[in-house]
Copies of this chain bind each other. A is one copy, B any other.
């Protein structure tokens, strides 16, 4: 979704510090075809930074998650660059069980469904995560 230059700009505008570990971690995640795990990020980070430790990777991951540039795919313990802008409160992922590809999808009906539970006052939804497993059209 975002090119690096855009991200640099957004960070500047918001005065978010774009440090080397952060930038490298974002690049690693962005360049990964499929969601990538923290320790695989860490391994790749070792090509850029001398002997990085887990907190270095996790802190950068946390930073990009907080600002909604990456998502955590909960059922995979893995991270993927956001492909739909970084301001939504919910996300939907189509996870191919065969090739492992994860498509971020914006199914706009989801918020409608959540509104119902708000209307009947049983629950006040703030954010959500939908992970759908199945087969992508390449694999089915």
Contact = CB atoms under 8 A, between A and B. Distances in A.
Interface string A117-140: 100011111111111111111001
Contacts of A96: 123
What is the total number of copies of this protein in its complex? 2
Interface residues of A, number: 33
Contact of A129 (B109, B117, B121, B131): B131
A133 to B, nearest CB: 5
B134 A105 contact: no
Nearest to A122: B137
A102 to B, nearest CB: 11
Contacts of A121: 137
A1 to B, nearest CB: 18
